[in-house]
Chains A and B, each alone.
With several copies, the nearest count.
Chain A
Amino acid sequence: MPTRLVEIHPPLVNASGIFSYLDVFIRLEREGVCLGGFVTKSIGPAERSGNDNPVVFDTGYGLLNSLALPTPPLEQWLAEFEGADLEKPVIVSIFGFSADDFADLVNRLDRYALAFELNLSCPNVQPGEQSLMGMLAESPDQVGQVVAAVRGATDKPIIAKLSPNTDYLATAQAACQAGADYLACSNSLGPGLAIDPGLSCTVLPGGTGGLTGPPLKPISLAMVYKLYDLLPLPIIAYGGVQCWQDAVDYFLAGASIVGLGTCFARKSTAEVVGLTWDIWRGVLEYLDGRSLSEIIGAGHVH
């Protein structure tokens, strides 16, 4: 068991890049959302616009996105954190282009974070860039350096967010050795491509985008299951959760916390709130009086 625990009750959060901003979290908290905490969009070292629209494409079975990490200036983030009237804890997701970037961000944001989630694995890029996935998740060495730099800068829990498209066992091991407290599985899949047959051209800027939603679920579930066996770190599961059964699957595979993203597509604030309650109530009914810890990893029958 790690010394640094992420205390989140209920153990449900939004996924990074979903809802993104503190004002949306405050709104959802006021309306009674059933999440134990929130995860910010990935905050970067400098203002970025991200890609031009269209940045999402619904395949009918999952979502492709190529937001490519838009982020307001860090000063604005700090002001927003200062002014935020929020009771639930916030996991701060960060990204950068070097270990120093990550460490600097942690220094500036430390007092606002319950924990830091390191985005090591976004497959999306603005034109001409290399992706975080390419720079970091594909290289256990790089991942080790980033985590070590962050470890040096904070005592808060560190969550290493992995990619399903790389050798995640190696990345996870590197993150673990460098001092990560949690693993997060997973960032988006692929990337994939969308074409509009009517206009006969690709849809997303640069053609491709990360795939999320139901297609990711079995892949991410396999990651959680394998990493639970391999490493002693607790796991936050992301990927295709739509209903309580999906959340239960992740707990059985070994996740301690489950994150929700694409399932909120097209949902108003009231509908978002309703869905979180449906999911958590379903989990409670499944537990039928047992504690959650009894089912975490219970799908590992050998």
Chain B
Amino acid sequence: MAVPCPRLSGRAMYTDVTVVENRAESETVSSLFFDRRFKARAGQFLMLWLPGVGEKPYSLSYANGITVKKVGPFSNALASVKSGTRLAVRGPLGKGFSQMPGRVLLIGGGCGMAPLRLLAQQVEEPLILLGGKTADDILFLKEFQGRGEVKITTEDGSTGKKGLITELLPERADYAALCGPEPMMAASLKLLSQERTKVFVALERYMKCAMGLCGACTCSGYRVCVDGPVFSAATLIDMRDFGWRRRAKSGRFEPVSGGVSCF
């Protein structure tokens, strides 16, 4: 092997990975697997660069993979890369979920199930609550069932209980991890924090530098790329924008529920 560059030791910008499998998880969701495993905590993310298309953040759903929902130009391009494609990635970036000893509740909706899948591997016998619009939105069901008890709600009742995930709450737990659409997380948080549960929430914001410099990803002054994406409920109390608004590419505020959401 060629001698590694002193310039790059420990601070290379990109890691080159090769896609070894592109697995369809549902109509609109695919997982990409790489020829490389990352040492990461669930909740950490990669910046994935497709030359000529862009560079966007994706949570690790596997130690060697990510899961993408086709919602716009980038995610469609990403979901259609063939196995054998070389990609440049940065990461794992950000702060993931902490250790959660004790009874853990995992609450997931939409692509939030991606980091939750990895988290389910990192905690003992979690109770897992999954919510979606329809059966097709429930990802990784087998794998979740292999890790703990799973309860499901769908808005159309096509699988699990008909209704919203919040209706399964409050479940008693020492810890809860929330990944999903921000309105769902905000609603769940309100119900949960009254109980004696340490709650962690994974946020998404538009990211540019993904290294804490540009401020694009701010949520009430916390830079999600370095202070998050996982925040504790204690911090969220201070975040007015949580569940309310986020900055678009220009920095303009838009409601968290607006736009083409990936959830």
A and B touch in the complex (CB under 8 A): yes
CB of B223 within 8 A of CB of A58, answer no
B117 at interface (Cβ–Cβ under 8 A)? Answer: no
Which residue of the partner chain B has the closest CB to A278? B3
Number of A residues with CB within 8 Å of any CB on chain B: 62
Interface residue from A20, A27, A262, A267 paired with B251 (Cβ < 8 Å):
A20
State which residues 35-78 of A face B: CB under 8 Å: 41, 47-50, 52-61, 63, 65, 67, 70-73, 76
Contacts of B210 in A (CB 8 A): 56
The prevalent SS among residues of B at the interface is loop
Contacts of A278 in B (CB 8 A): 2-3
Q: How far is the CA of A246 from the CA of B227 in the complex (A)?
A: 26
Write the A172-189 contact mask toward B (1 if CB under 8 angstroms, else 0).
000000000000000000
Contacts of B51 in A (CB 8 A): 196, 199, 201, 301
Interface residue from B11, B13, B252 paired with A76 (Cβ < 8 Å):
B252
Q: How far is the CA of A186 from the CA of B14 in the complex (A)?
A: 26
Which residue of the partner chain B has the closest CB to A57? B13
B141 at interface (Cβ–Cβ under 8 A)? Answer: no
Interface residue from B56, B207, B226 paired with A266 (Cβ < 8 Å):
B226
Interface residue from A76, A244, A264 paired with B2 (Cβ < 8 Å):
A244
One of B38-46, B178-186, B214-222 at the interface: B214-222
B244 at interface (Cβ–Cβ under 8 A)? Answer: no
CB of A243 within 8 A of CB of B6, answer yes
Q: How far is the CA of A76 from the CA of B14 in the complex (A)?
A: 35
Asked, given contacts A199-B51, A243-B6, whether A60 binds B215 with beta carbons under 8 Å apart, the answer is: no
What distance in Å separates the Cβ of B113 from its nearest Cβ neighbour in chain A? 25
Contacts of A70 in B (CB 8 A): 208, 216, 249-251
Which residue of the partner chain A has the closest CB to B215? A20
CB of A268 within 8 A of CB of B247, answer no
A-B contact count (CB 8 A): 171
Which residue of the partner chain B has the closest CB to A61? B7
CB of B95 within 8 A of CB of A21, answer no
CB of B221 within 8 A of CB of A261, answer no
A23 at interface (Cβ–Cβ under 8 A)? Answer: yes
Write the B233-259 contact mask toward A (1 if CB under 8 angstroms, else 0).
000000001000001011111000000
Q: How far is the CA of A265 from the CA of B247 in the complex (A)?
A: 20
CB of A243 within 8 A of CB of B215, answer no
A135 at interface (Cβ–Cβ under 8 A)? Answer: no
CB of B223 within 8 A of CB of A18, answer no
Asked, given contacts A20-B214, A199-B16, A266-B211, whether A54 binds B55 with beta carbons under 8 Å apart, the answer is: yes
State which residues 83-121 of B face A: CB under 8 Å: 86, 88, 95
Contacts of A65 in B (CB 8 A): 209, 213-214
CB of A244 within 8 A of CB of B3, answer yes
B5 at interface (Cβ–Cβ under 8 A)? Answer: yes
What distance in Å separates the Cβ of A127 from its nearest Cβ neighbour in chain B? 12
CB of B213 within 8 A of CB of A246, answer no
CB of A50 within 8 A of CB of B213, answer no
Asked, given contacts A23-B218, A281-B2, whether A55 binds B8 with beta carbons under 8 Å apart, the answer is: no
CB of B2 within 8 A of CB of A286, answer yes
State which residues 226-272 of A face B: CB under 8 Å: 242-246, 261-262, 264-269, 272
A19 at interface (Cβ–Cβ under 8 A)? Answer: yes
Contacts of B157 in A (CB 8 A): none
B12 at interface (Cβ–Cβ under 8 A)? Answer: yes
B54 at interface (Cβ–Cβ under 8 A)? Answer: yes
A298 at interface (Cβ–Cβ under 8 A)? Answer: no
CB of A23 within 8 A of CB of B5, answer no
Contacts of A261 in B (CB 8 A): 213
Contacts of B8 in A (CB 8 A): 60, 243, 245
B49 at interface (Cβ–Cβ under 8 A)? Answer: yes
B148 at interface (Cβ–Cβ under 8 A)? Answer: no
Q: How far is the CA of A18 from the CA of B216 in the complex (A)?
A: 10
CB of B88 within 8 A of CB of A199, answer yes
16 contacts between A and B (CB under 8 A): A18-B215, A27-B222, A30-B221, A49-B250, A54-B49, A55-B208, A56-B209, A59-B13, A67-B209, A72-B253, A196-B16, A199-B51, A199-B88, A262-B213, A265-B212, A268-B227
Known: A53-B207, A198-B14, A246-B7. 8 other contacts (CB 8 A): A17-B213, A24-B218, A53-B49, A55-B208, A65-B209, A76-B253, A264-B213, A278-B3
Considering the complex of A and B, which 4 residue pairs feature the smallest CB-CB distances, nearest first? A27-B221, A243-B5, A20-B215, A282-B2
